[in-house]
Amino acid sequence: MSIANALQEIATLDLFAESVRPEAFVGRPFYFDFSRMKVLSNDHWKEKVGGIAAGSFLVAVYDDAGDNPEVVLLRVLGPTGLPTDSDVVAAMVDHYKENAALDSSPSGLDSYTRYEFQFSGLDCRVLGSFFRGEESTEFGADVDNFYGPNNYSIYRPSGRLLEYIVNFRDGKAIPGGSGDQRIGEVRYASSRRHRAAESVPVYVSALDYLGKRTALFGMTRTGKSNTLKKVIQATADLADPNVEPVGQIVFDVNGEYANDNQQDEGTAIYQLYGEHVTRYSILDKEGFRVMKLNFYRDLLAGFEMLRSSLQTDSTVYTQAFMNVDLEEPAPDDRSATTRHGRRVACYKAILFEAGFPPSGQSIFFQGRREINDAVGIDPSGGVTPEQAGTWFKWVWENYATDPFFTNYRNNNGREWAEEDLVTLMRFLTRKPQPGGQASYAGFRKLIPSRQLHTNTVQEPFEDEVVGLLRDGKIVIIDLSQGDPTIQRVYADRLCASIFKEAMGRFIQNQEANYIQLYFEEAHNLFPKKNESDLTLIYNRIAKEGAKLRLGLIYATQEVSSISSNVLKNTQNWFVSHLNNQDELREIAKYYDFEDFVESLRRATDKGFIRMKTYSNAFIVPVQIDRFSAVPS
């Protein structure tokens, strides 16, 4: 049956009539307040409905509601004590002792005692209430009143009724609009003895992801990647006349989205959406575009990537290098233009010294006749990066002793070389002082970044990526062959470019399609929990991305590794097995995940997810379908 037909089938369901089915009766409440209900049940009722697992849904129906029916939605948390428990336990112990004295197994209970022994209590959380609105059934995430518990009957929803409940959307009774895709089926427990009776489909709306923050948490091999692919699939298959084609970019740390792998039965994302997918790699590979910059030509972009790669280097001279100003000054400021030309020339000499192959373009800058004559090079006519390096090396070697620099200092009251140029010459020569020993690492610190450079003339790759995303394409960034530092450099650079372009459109009031950014192993890229600096690009996307139509989808094993600024702005949650009490305490802070802490710790089943989406008012436990070429 198609999704549309399946949803149409439950569209006409009368929740209030369907909830009251004698065969689904499980008990009566004996305590009720705004947040909790305690229910008396027994073994016979439980067996009749196939058992009641922790985390399962129940409904409490007001018996005499008349024309104003109300159904209270409950989630089973666990057992609760009954006032008669102590008497039952005492009687049970006495019975066991009697049978032990007779050297026989516990048997022969009279019907009255057996009847008393089968009763137990269920502790339930009140999730909200269904009621008749003016046009359709509505759901409120609380109860506005409660009556004596004796006025309610408790039932266990299943089949169409359960399908209706778990797929209820904020603002409309059931799913079925554009973007709805099946993601799995209801699952309450790791043990699935009654699986056939509980094959109830769960749908998600791709509209819930657009411009929102979505988190996928869980240990390795518990289904995070599979779920992420289902999200990508739902978004790619979105067909809504009111939504422009959505751009999606996947930062593929492990290479499982960009390359063939056995997990997808031969169908990776790039294969499923082949003509709409562009793959990028750090290295030259068949079928991939290469992410490299011409550092000599794209001066500021290349320098920004170097700064990103050195951001954890706290040495004073490296920090000074990262703060050098390479921005072009106003063209009518001749003095500033001359000094800027020297800084750029020295920077390009540093690139050459670090092994960045030059692109064949000459470097032009204004020297001084005294220096030109001493070195034998006039840079105003154009020089190679190597010759520029020779020129600046001579300057720094003789800066403290040559009469030209001494006289310039005495006659002008300032240094010939401003602070930024001094910083660059130190980095070039590796010498802290003019004429001294080369004790700095200097330009050698840039050697690992050589793989980011190309000496060809081409459009900057980040501009090309942004263009593809604006066309509604899928872009996969294969970072699997880069070290963590290089991975961060590329991810930071691309995210900053996407954010800057989106902010530009927002300021200029231009139309913009949605762009979704996906991150695997997000703890390798995102700021840590205690990093609240809102200038960091991921924090900015989390805080400001909604208004810019930027969605953030991230997967990681550690909730505590993610910045609280990102977590607090996350609307969609997919949580599987977590084995650490610290991580469980962290997840329990959000929504009502505290109800699932114990099952999250114990159940290790792959794809067993507790899901909270933007348009759903409560968490639904789901077994995620396996990703395949054909949506479920």
Sequential DSSP letters for 421-448: HHHHHHHHH--SSTT----S-GGGGGGG
Q: Which residues contact 467 (CB under 8 A, 6 or more apart)?
A: none
Q: What is 213-292+460-571's CATH number, 3.40.50.1000, 3.40.640.10, 3.40.50.300, 3.40.50.720?
A: 3.40.50.300
Give the mean pLDDT per block of 10 residues along the chain (632 residues): 59 82 94 94 92 94 80 94 82 75 62 80 94 82 88 93 87 60 90 65 91 92 86 87 92 81 66 87 84 87 85 92 94 93 97 93 93 95 95 96 93 93 97 94 93 78 92 92 75 91 95 94 73 73 92 90 84 93 91 92 92 91 83 49
Q: At what angle do helices 385-398 and 334-353 cross, to 10 degrees?
A: 110
Which pLDDT value is given to residue 302?
87
DSSP letter assigned to residue 254? S
Which pLDDT value is given to residue 1?
52
Whether the CB-CB separation of 179 and 205 falls below 8 Å is answered with yes
Which pLDDT value is given to residue 630?
57
Which pLDDT value is given to residue 129?
92
- Give domain limits for the chain: 3-174, 213-292+460-571, 299-452
pTM, full prediction: 0.80
Pairing of strands 289-290, 474-478: unpaired
Residue 412, token pair as written in the block: 């002008």
Whether the CB-CB separation of 441 and 430 falls below 8 Å is answered with yes
Which pLDDT value is given to residue 284?
80
* CA pair distance 182, 49, nearest whole angstrom: 26
Which pLDDT value is given to residue 196?
44
* CA pair distance 113, 197, nearest whole angstrom: 32
What phi, psi does 587 have (nearest 5°)?
A: -70, -30
